[in-house]
Copies of this chain bind each other. A is one copy, B any other.
Amino acid sequence: MNRYMRKDMSLFLDLYELTMAQGYWEAKRSNHLATFDLFVRGLPENRGYLLNAGLEDVLDYIDNLEFKPQEINYLRKQNLFSTDFLDYLAQFKFSGDIWAMPEGEIFFANEPVIRVTANIIEAQILESFLLNTINLQTMIATKASRVVLSAGDRKVFDFSLRRTHGQDAALKVARSAFIAGFAGTSNVLAGKIYGIPIAGTMAHSYVMCFKRELDSFFSYAKAFPDKTTLLVDTYNTKRGIEAAIKVGLRLRRQGGNLLGVRIDSGDMVVLSKMAPEMLDKAGLMEVKVFASGNLDEYKLRELIRRGAKIDNFGVGTKMGVSQDAPFIDVIYKISEVMDHRGNFLPTMKLSQSKTTLPGRKQVYRIEDSHGRFIRDILALDREDLDGRPLLKEVVRSGKIIYDRPALGKIREYARSNISALPDKYKKLTQPEAFPVVISKQLKELTRDLSLQIRKRQKTK
């Protein structure tokens, strides 16, 4: 059971989803179908791609979505809703269709990552949860994948629990970072729930609880003779490494093995060169250097460029809150709606600055003969184009028909996608924009519909 979700999430939505639902209900539109696209309006600064994550939670949510009596009672007390409508809600089940990109897929601005076709009330009620879920997990998977790219062949561990935005975020960050290629997490509950490898060293307080740093090291090594990484910067890093060497040599004599030393402050380049030199001289070549403290993809790149000798990184806060882009501009917009005669009519938003693309859409990825990504085509679903379609059917008539892959498979899929994306789109700063082409039919529909809407407004 690798899931984590409260089951009573039906009221986790913006109030307007419910008031609009009642508006539709009273206007007798509850049988009208509509299609909504969940997509990102524009990529955050310095992001050349987004790494999709969160679908598993979306499907769990759909599976558990119902309004229980105590939830209906709460709504009743608001004096907003009619008895008729509340009776409808009490029977509510999602019965529509969902197409989605798999977790680990790479996507770009304006591409639907989830497409919902359902009666207008059902489609609307999903909005808040879907946005919240895809925003967090995709934002973090993307940020974490940048850290992994920066780290090259060094291992990276998630140390963000203490500064993520609450408990749900801490768990989802661990999962999203693992999808993106992190080697493990310090978050024990995430380890238990998702089966992610857990890792940890020691805190400064541990060292400070003993009279001498060396005593603290020996006591820890005694408890974990072959799993000890010693934090060497509590007082003076050079003396800390000297003490770690004594522990390493004693462990070896006793058949154990010092795993590593951790540096959490100071000039990481200088210290990380000093540490292996001292360790090598003492004959402890196998001891790894572990660095943590204020790291992100930019800092990692800088450290490596300056020749730091670091084997493993612990990356915390700045990854766990996606510090340079703490949200993505994810939105959920209607693209077609059924009229009174049962025909789907494409629709679009056409305000001054924010225009959306109409119609039921699909995304096709064009790859070269080596599987490298060349461009995407954003097209109407009814078009039959070359390329790999990225949206898969995951829910049909309310039933989940998607075989949810294990986390390790998702991680592997993410790795292969990121490696198929050419480097120029993966630059940490000012990456090139991946070409997303609008198909001829979609272009024509957009143009025709814009004209129609403008005309309708004028003649009103």
**A131 close to chain B: CB less than 8 A:** yes
Instruction: Report if A15-B169 is in contact (Cβ < 8 Å); known contacts: A23-B220, A34-B209, A162-B135.
Output: no
**A19 close to chain B: CB less than 8 A:** yes
**Chain B residue with the shortest CB-CB distance to A199:** B15
Instruction: Report if A164-B162 is in contact (Cβ < 8 Å); known contacts: A12-B187, A78-B198, A352-B265.
Output: no
In the complex, which residues 153-210 of chain A have their Cβ closer than 8 Å to any Cβ of chain B? 159, 161-170, 172, 186-189, 191-192, 198-206, 208-210
Contacts of A19 in B (CB 8 A): 200-202, 220, 223-224, 227
**A289 close to chain B: CB less than 8 A:** no
Q: Are A186 and B15 in contact (CB under 8 A)?
A: yes
Q: How many copies does the complex hold?
A: 2
Bound: A89/B15 CA distance, A = 43
Q: Are B23 and A219 in contact (CB under 8 A)?
A: yes
Question: Which residue of B14, B29, B227 contacts A200 across the interface (Cβ within 8 Å)?
Answer: B14
What 0/1 readout, one digit per residue, does chain A (311-336) give for beta carbons within 8 Å of chain B? 00000010001110011001001100
Contacts of A347 in B (CB 8 A): 208-209
**A365 close to chain B: CB less than 8 A:** no
**A350 close to chain B: CB less than 8 A:** yes
Question: Which residue of B9, B202, B266, B321 contacts A351 across the interface (Cβ within 8 Å)?
Answer: B266
Q: Are A208 and B26 in contact (CB under 8 A)?
A: no
Number of A interface residues at 8 Å Cβ cutoff, please give it. Answer: 103
Contacts of A29 in B (CB 8 A): 209
How distant is A67 from chain B, measured CB to nearest CB, in Å?
11
Q: Are B23 and A460 in contact (CB under 8 A)?
A: no
Which of A233-241, A370-378, A382-390, A407-415 forms contacts with chain B?
A233-241
Bound: A169/B12 CA distance, A = 12
**A124 close to chain B: CB less than 8 A:** yes
What 0/1 readout, one digit per residue, does chain A (7-28) give for beta carbons within 8 Å of chain B? 0010111111111101111110
Q: Are A163 and B188 in contact (CB under 8 A)?
A: no
Contacts of A202 in B (CB 8 A): 16, 19-20, 23
**A128 close to chain B: CB less than 8 A:** yes
Q: Are B124 and A205 in contact (CB under 8 A)?
A: yes
Q: Are B334 and A327 in contact (CB under 8 A)?
A: no
How distant is A78 from chain B, measured CB to nearest CB, in Å?
7
Q: Are B334 and A11 in contact (CB under 8 A)?
A: no
Bound: A48/B415 CA distance, A = 44
**A91 close to chain B: CB less than 8 A:** no
**A132 close to chain B: CB less than 8 A:** yes
**A349 close to chain B: CB less than 8 A:** yes
Can you give 12 A-B contacts (C-beta < 8 A)?
Answer: A11-B192, A12-B188, A16-B202, A19-B224, A20-B203, A23-B223, A74-B191, A78-B198, A128-B162, A165-B169, A209-B347, A266-B352
Among all A-B residue pairs, the 6 with the closest Cβ atoms: A15-B200, A165-B165, A16-B200, A166-B168, A168-B168, A131-B162
Excluding A9-B167, A22-B224, A132-B161, 19 further A-B contacts by CB distance (< 8 Å) are A13-B187, A15-B187, A15-B199, A20-B203, A22-B223, A23-B222, A27-B222, A32-B209, A80-B227, A124-B205, A127-B203, A135-B162, A165-B166, A168-B168, A205-B333, A208-B334, A212-B460, A236-B457, A266-B352
